[in-house]
A and B are shown apart, each in its own frame.
Chain A
């Protein structure tokens, strides 16, 4: 049974993938958008408002938890030649089930989420996690991985949605922020605004990660130097 979860998709892979806690890992260390650069289609398409971003993030989280759990449960019965076809069938099933359930359970939730649920199948992150993790790990850990990755995805979408809505419409969650004289920067609601916002967030996230890594290296080097001084 493997404990690694290096992504295997066509997208960029993280430099290092040490796994301790699958939940924290998805949220920060291997954030699907800011580190693995996965799920770019919905990330760029629906982050022009905070509400859209949160709704898409939560719907994706639910599908990931359920599909990861089911795939992990039957992982030993799936021949590796047909694993991708099996994963796709299971994911598509859960997307359909979620669509029905949300429609039946709450009108208000369906009004907020309804348009985004079918878009979940276009997200390669949902297929990448079964391939990299749920197909090799027990049910509990796989569901936790789905939860962490889903919430990490929702967090990244919300970051992008905040920048794009505030600059592009002058509002946050629909509430005006700058008064009537504010001229919205409509570019940020359009596709180029999505790329610009994503680039800014990727740059910020990478700088923060590098600074943390440098601080850790400095501390380790200082400790080694101190040990060598004492021993000499």
Chain B
């Protein structure tokens, strides 16, 4: 008759899990520390490329931090805490427009984006998604679909007309966004984030427009 198996000691299990957890932690920390600089540098490049795509012909760029008081402060690079505004100028120093960050909750997670705004026309002239986790092939088409991008060639952003996404094919007014079929939640999130962005920053831009145009 074989004796029943005794209780196995927990010490080797705790030891193994502790060592493996430490190893994994060290691996992640070492990777994070060694890639932090490169990642920040890459994010800066992505931001500069995005601003250049939204303001064609740009040769000079000034980054402003939007203070809680509504004033603007010039930043040395594109990196900075809090809301930012990127002003673009052509080779002759002519003001081309501003690019502003905005975000809202999408289907899967928060969608972060940039949009180009023409303060003279009070219109949105471009839109680009910077970060999202929307469903590949459906929601993520807000960043790739050329038909959806066509909504932002001259989207009316004047006061009194809230920017909203409408069902695909139902767009009638210049302030409406024609949603992507099968990605209505993501399309509506774009409408909300633009409305929120424009209403919060347009007064700040209007107040500081002369200064921004002079590049000061």
Contact = CB atoms under 8 A, between A and B. Distances in A.
Contacts of B133: 115, 118
B2 interface: no
Contact of A89 (B20, B32, B42, B140): B20
B20 A115 contact: no
Contacts of A77: 16, 19
B42 A103 contact: yes
A213 interface: no
A78 B137 CA distance: 41
B20 A86 contact: yes
User: Taking each of B16, B45, B138, which has the highest tally of chain A beta carbons within 10 Å of its own beta carbon?
Assistant: B16
In this complex, the member of A45, A74, A93 whose beta carbon has the largest number of chain B beta carbons within 10 angstroms is: A93
B31 interface: yes
A98 B16 CA distance: 24
Nearest to B27: A93
Nearest to B49: A107
Interface stretch (A1-9, A46-54, A142-150): A46-54
A79 B10 CA distance: 10
B8 interface: yes
A100 B31 contact: yes
Interface string B35-52: 100110010011000000
Q: In terms of DSSP, what is the predominant structure of the interface of chain B?
A: helix
A131 to B, nearest CB: 16
A168 B6 CA distance: 60
Given A103-B42, A107-B46, A79 B20 contact: no
B150 interface: no
Interface string A90-123: 1011001100110111010010000110100000
B42 A115 contact: no
B14 to A, nearest CB: 9
Contacts of A48: 136-138
A100 B39 contact: yes
B170 interface: no
A81 interface: yes
Given A107-B42, A107-B45, A116-B136, A89 B35 contact: no
B31 A115 contact: no
B13 interface: yes
A186 interface: yes
B136 A52 contact: yes
A49 to B, nearest CB: 5
Interface string A59-93: 00000000000000010011101100110011011
A93 B181 CA distance: 37
B28 A190 contact: no
Contacts of A74: 20
Contacts of B12: 79
A151 interface: no
B28 A97 contact: yes
8 contacts: A46-B137, A48-B136, A79-B8, A96-B28, A115-B136, A116-B136, A189-B137, A189-B182
Interface of B: 8, 12-13, 16-17, 19-21, 24, 27-28, 31-32, 35, 38-39, 42, 45-46, 132-133, 135-138, 140, 181-182
Interface of A: 45-46, 48-49, 52, 74, 77-79, 81-82, 85-86, 89-90, 92-93, 96-97, 100-101, 103-105, 107, 110, 115-116, 118, 186, 189-190
Given A46-B136, A116-B136, 4 more contacts: A89-B17, A92-B24, A100-B32, A100-B39
